[in-house]
């Protein structure tokens, strides 16, 4: 299993509104991509900013390519992101899951 990690930041006062945008865009696309095993969104509000971290789990890099295209580590953005995000990281990170709490 592979975890794809994306990070983004918006103003704290736009945090709830941007979460709704994420649900309509990225989360919907993740869930509709074959090979996606789950989505978690983390949020931390501090110093007037809301930092979002999205963790998606995938069965393979081929599945991630179906969502992200090539190169597989390119961040994928939506038109609405321009209204909210304070910056645009060009890439994401991928991690191989080597231990899961459900594993014995």
Q: What is the pLDDT of residues 56-73, one digit of tens each?
A: 999 999 999 999 999 999
Q: Domain holding 81: CATH number?
A: 3.30.70.100
| d(C-alpha 45, C-alpha 38), whole Å | 23
Residue 71, domain extent: 2-96
pLDDT at 80: 96
> Considering the domain boundaries, does residue 101 fall inside one?
no
For residue 103, is pLDDT > 90? no
Percent of the chain with pLDDT over 90: 95
Residue-level pLDDT at 100: 87
- Residue 104 is assigned to a structural domain of this protein: no
Q: Is the pLDDT confidence value at 89 over 70?
A: yes
Helical spans, DSSP H, in 5-87: 15-22, 28-31, 61-68, 81-84
| Average pLDDT in the chain | 96
Overall domain count for the chain: 1
Length of the chain: 104
């Amino acid at each position: 299993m592979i975890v794809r990690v994306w990070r983004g930041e918006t103003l704290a006062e736009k945090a709830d509104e941007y979460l709704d945008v994420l649900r309509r865009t990225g989360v919907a696309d993740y869930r509709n991509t074959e090979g996606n095993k789950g989505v978690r969104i983390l949020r931390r509000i501090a110093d007037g900013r809301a930092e979002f971290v999205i963790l998606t789990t995938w069965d393979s890099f081929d599945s991630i390519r179906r969502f992200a295209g090539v190169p597989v580590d390119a961040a994928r953005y939506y038109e609405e992101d321009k209204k909210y995000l304070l910056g645009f990281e060009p890439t994401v990170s991928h991690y191989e899951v080597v231990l899961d709490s459900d594993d014995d």
